Amino acid sequence: MFFLLILSSFFHPSTLNFIEPVSFTFSSFDAGSCNTTGELVCSGAAAISNGYIDLTPDPQKDNVTESSALMSSVGRVVYKAPMIAWPANFMTTFTVLISRDPNWTNFGDGMAFFLAQNGGPSPPSSHGGFLGLFNGSTEGKTCNQLAVELDTYMNEFDPNANHVGVDTNSIISDATANLDAIGVDLKLGRQVKIKIKYDSWRNNLEIFAAYYGDPLKSILNHSMVMFGTVPRPVYVGFTGSTGPGGSFETHRIINWAFATYPVLNYSHNDGHEGDKTKKILIIIFPIVTSALIMVIFLLPLIRKCKWPRKKERKLSREGIESHSRIAANVPKMFTFKELSKATHNFSKENFLGVGGFGSVYRGDISDPPLTIAVKRISATSRQGEREYLAEICTIGRLRHKNLVQLHGWCHDRSNLLLVYEFMPNGSLDRFISKGFLDWPTRYRIIIGLASALLYLHEECGNVVIHRDVKPNNVMLDANYNAHLGDFGFARLLLNETSITTMLAGTPGYLAPECSYTGKASTESDVFSFGIVVLEVVCGRRTLGGIGENNLVDYVWELHGKGQLINCVDSRLKGELEEEEEMSRALVVGLLCSHPDPRLRPNMRKVIQVLTNPNEPLMELPESRPTAIYVTVLSPAVSMNPTASTTTMSSGLYSASLDESGLQYGR
């Protein structure tokens, strides 16, 4: 008991900090993003046009001819809501394009991603080499700021004219790295993808870079403590600047994703976190050792005791509730009484259908007034418990306009319930063969589903594999916009590879390699997406068998005859003026369902093809490949002599409940 009292003093709530995750994603930028109702604040020369942000003026787009308007310009854009910088980990990825008119003499000066106390405009006199970050009249010195600069002009304090740097109290960087080392040139006029990660446990800031579409490479690791560098609440955003004397360039942000993650940390008041951690470990070790010894001696007695099943069930539920409270980033925990009232005691009149491991009911709550969908997990399903917790841990931290929003959850004795936003038009499968949707609506659904998968695979922090993409899991709101739901099978990855687990998914939508290896990956999600696309365009469900009895075989056959457009749903024949979009969608569907996962496009390429009519279509074979390509952990002979093998690792971050409880880690 004495040891427990000491331990409790170290873990007093006043010494612990817990913050909720915050994340957002801009696959592109709407014109209204920077107005008073938007999520961004633009100042200086920054402006949004054609889906991207120009931090500094574009002479051609803005019809700028006077050199004075181009030179010494500064632009800034910030996310308008502040967020917590510590104790927290954060990750951001963004794509930039830096270019220069050939008529101008030099490139200059650069841009930066920053965390700062001030969410307003850039400081005065911060043009040129001060990158819109530091006031030139104070010799470029300030505090309460962290910036990662992408510098294209060599000042006297710079190592070269193509580097990344970490700036805190001065424009003179604390650490720099030459981008030439990884073969990236900011001034080449190509899109460059940047990824920045901060690990608060290791006090490490890591920067990655690559040309867009290439694998990211780590370019800089820098040790720093966020506490003391920036204030706890910060604004995040970008700045860009041009210099005088003919040094000019445009700084364009193509997309941006940002996420912070909750971290349990100890008070920074005394500045001796390491010493306190050691003290805690010194105390914990003998307690744990003593507890293990007691368990060993008491185990024979425990085995002889016959505990009531009801008690076992209660303990299991308490464990679930404990894990749920820690893992969930959900606005509200509902009571069973509230949800029972909202659904009229789960009446037949409110029954919507059967979802994964439970039934779904419509409900109406009054505070705030909201229509909801309530999934009631089967009380006798152990697998249902696992999927319930996996759903909370996965979708609870995700935010995207094309994902079903999880409003809350409920654990009350034997009742496990999930509360979602209500989708008035139900699931997509209702409309594929029996209902009718016009072509613009179908095309919008396809793009919306692709946007959701792009967010899961590339833009939400860790990679998320949905593993069960099918029309039943695509919900339609009042305007028939697509929302991907049912994340009971989903998994989070620590790296962009594959995971090995029990086979999950639905026959017909399951990638062929999964049946042989049991692995799920982003490529297997892409395969499922391809099947859904073909179903939406053709207005029929995928079936087994061969030839016309199999949707994929049928579409490939018509493609080989040069009659691809003939497989379009006959009910759309009056809309053939949209033939170009229909053909693009069908080509995307066939390529995504390619048996070789390496030849499937990623979701970003899919979005580009679907949304940009000038984007070249991917090369499509004349007939459907017949080989089955198997991905293995080590080199081996594939199932087909002509098929090749690949090597992948499996860094799994699992948000599922196994026999011992919720497990996080590799």
Question: Which residue of the set 468, 486, 525, 569 is catalytic?
Answer: 468
pLDDT for 270: 41
Which of left, alpha, beta for 246 (phi over 0: left; psi -120 to 50: alpha)?
left
What are the start-end ranges of the H helices in 270-360? 273-304, 309-327, 336-342
| Residue stretches of the chain with pLDDT short of 70 | 1-21, 58-72, 101-107, 124-143, 156-157, 244-247, 262-331, 355-357, 378-391, 393-396, 413, 488-505, 515-517, 543-549, 574-577, 626-666
pLDDT in tens, 443-486: 999 999 999 999 999 888 778 888 889 998 999 999 999 999 88
CB 256 within 8 A of CB 116: no
Positive or negative: CA dihedral 233, 238, 242, 247:
positive
Q: Are strands 332-333 and 406-412 parallel, antiparallel or unpaired?
A: parallel
Which candidate, 351, 357, 360, places its Cα nearest to that of 386? 357
Q: Can you read off the two tokens belonging to residue 485?
A: 């739901």
Structural domains of the chain, ranges and CATH numbers in brackets: 2-13+268-304 (no CATH), 24-263 (2.60.120.200), 324-422 (3.30.200.20), 429-658 (1.10.510.10)
Interatomic CA distance for residues 268 and 290, integer angstroms: 31
Residue 375: HSE in the Cβ half-sphere, 13 Å Cα cutoff: 27
How many CB atoms are closer than 10 A to CB 661? Answer: 12
Rounded Cα distance, 587 and 576, in Å: 16
- Of 476, 491, 568, 483, the closest CA to residue 525 belongs to 491
- The CB density around residue 571, as the number of other CB atoms within 10 Å, is 12
Residue type, 338: E
Task: Give the span between the Cα atoms of 264 and 262, in whole angstroms.
Answer: 7
For 122, other C-beta atoms within 10 Å of its C-beta total 26
Residue 281 and residue 4 in contact, taking contact as beta carbons nearer than 8 Å = no
- Best CA proximity match to 153, nearest among 141, 140, 165: 165
Q: How far apart are CA 54 and CA 64, in angstroms?
A: 13
Distance between CA atoms of 100 and 106, rounded to whole angstroms?
8
Query: Annotation-wise, does 306 bind a ligand?
Result: no
For position 633, what pLDDT does the model report? 40
Q: What pLDDT is recorded for position 268? A: 45
Residue type, 445: I
CA 178 – CA 207 distance, rounded (Å): 12
Give long-range contacts, CB 8 A cutoff, 24+ apart: 3-6: 3/283, 3/286, 3/287, 3/290, 4/287, 6/283
H or E element: which one contains 604?
A: helix 603-611
pLDDT (tens digit per residue) in 21-46: 677 888 888 878 887 778 899 988 88
pLDDT value at position 539?
Answer: 92
Catalytic annotation present for 468: yes
Query: What are residue 209's DSSP bridge partners?
Result: 194, 217
Q: What is the dihedral of CA 521, 526, 532, 537, to 10 degrees?
A: -170
Q: Give residues with Cβ within 8 angstroms of 72, minimum separation 6.
A: 127, 128, 241, 242, 243, 244
Helix axes 551-560, 522-538, angle to 10 degrees: 70
Q: How far is it, in rounded angstroms, from Cα 124 to Cα 72?
A: 11
| 25 Cβ contact partners less than 8 Å away, ≥ 6 residues apart | 256, 257, 258, 399, 400, 455, 459, 460
Instruction: List C-alpha distances in Å: 278 to 129, 275, 490.
Output: 44, 5, 37
